[in-house]
Amino acid sequence: MKNKLLIFIFIFIIICPKLASLLNIKEPTLNENRVLNSKPPFTFSKNYSKAFTNYFNDRFGLRNYFIVADHYLRYKFFNISTNFAVSIGKDQWLFYTPDTQYIDSVNGQPFSQDDLAQIKNNLLDIQTAFQKQNIKFYFLVAPNKQSIYPEFLPNHMKKVHPDSRLDQIDIFLKNYPQINFINPKSDILATKTKNQVYLKYDTHWNQFGAFVAYQKLFEKINQDFPNLKPKNITDFNLSTSTTPNKDLALELGVAGQFSESSIFVNPKIQNSTTISQNCPEIYTKCPLIVQENPNKKLPRLLMFRDSFAVGLIPFISEHFQHSYYYWGQVPFPNSLVKQEKPDIIIFELTERELWRLKDPIFSLN
């Protein structure tokens, strides 16, 4: 009887994938970054067997469930990452650490003094060029998650140097106060003792962390524009809600398996609305968001940004009659400046991308 049961279980396991295919059971989506093999037309060619094997390996029933289960077990019980770009830290916090970002996470390749001088010159050139067009320029850095929560990094990730590249730039630019450089790192670090400011399973800050960066940014802008005062936390309703895991969980192949509570910062009164949004290929072409405010006395904004600005946009747009948010390839085109005729340009960049500052960021011609 025992042998018959084992045989039945074995046969059932074998036929399950075929049954799943016949029943067209919906499976979880995997982030494989490739096109799956299609079914090849039947031929007597010697290549047909290999082509069909590749097709079957990509398409058999329950395949994605098996892969997710494998990734989940490795992550949850063995603390093993199935993606070289994602590190599993203490308390199973996830960090984005591909090769270059791993080096950056441990401060393994600091800027030279020549690098810092070139970065200063590039920022000063940009700011001066826009100043001649009566446009105020502000540069905001979004700190890496590992800069805010280093205590959750895995034990093997030891700091090679005490200062990060962001720390180096911050110290160096203190000698050039004319550059509108905004680094919210210390403010976010101070806030994290009271509230979580970054997501556990995502590389980005949560809305509370974004709000702290927004306040720091507008403290600087307010020095030039007295009517653009940063809003207080009392202008918002705070709520806590469960959010599904996002980019790092997806990269690790465990999307849908975990969720976390996160703080949401919702305006009591919101005047800005989205009038245009176009994000066809989010990492290769311009994700474009345009928002407008009925108060036409407010200035116009052009913001060059990356994914961290998603959390900033709801706060920033309240201060401008027209806000144009562009996420595209460096160097940024000057044609957008001519098109939008902004009063203010904000350039937001994630800390791990600071190396880009050594090269021209804008096409100023």
Q: Is there a contact between 191 and 212 (Cβ–Cβ < 8 Å)?
A: yes
| Lowest mean per-residue pLDDT among 41-45, 86-90, 204-208 | 41-45
Whether the per-residue pLDDT at 270 is higher than 80: the answer is yes
Residue type, 291: Q
Q: Tell whether omega for the bond before 331 is within 30 degrees of 0, i.e. cis.
A: yes
At 319-360, the pLDDT tens digits run 999 999 998 877 888 888 999 999 999 999 999 999 999 998
Report the pLDDT value the prediction gives residue 252, as an integer from 0 to 100: 75
At 93-122, the pLDDT tens digits run 999 988 777 788 888 899 999 999 999 999
| Parallel/antiparallel/unpaired status of strands 300-304 and 322-326 | parallel
The mean pLDDT of 167-189, rounded to a whole number, is: 97
Mean pLDDT of the chain: 84
Q: Is there a contact between 326 and 285 (Cβ–Cβ < 8 Å)?
A: no
Q: Is there a contact between 235 and 268 (Cβ–Cβ < 8 Å)?
A: yes
Report the pLDDT value the prediction gives residue 22, as an integer from 0 to 100: 60
Output the six-digit token pair for 216: 């720091």
Report the pLDDT value the prediction gives residue 243, as an integer from 0 to 100: 72
| pTM (2 d.p.) | 0.82
Decide which of 286 and 356 is more confident: 356
Whether the per-residue pLDDT at 284 is higher than 50: the answer is no
Confidence of residue 29 (pLDDT cuts 50, 70, 90): low
Whether the per-residue pLDDT at 250 is higher than 80: the answer is no
Dist. CA 291–CA 85, nearest whole Å:
34
Dist. CA 125–CA 130, nearest whole Å:
9
Whether the per-residue pLDDT at 282 is higher than 50: the answer is no
The mean pLDDT of 308-317, rounded to a whole number, is: 94
Report the pLDDT value the prediction gives residue 348, as an integer from 0 to 100: 97
At 218-243, the pLDDT tens digits run 999 999 999 999 999 999 998 888 87
Unique residue bearing structure tokens 């989940």: 72
| Lowest mean per-residue pLDDT among 128-142, 167-181, 183-197, 329-343 | 329-343
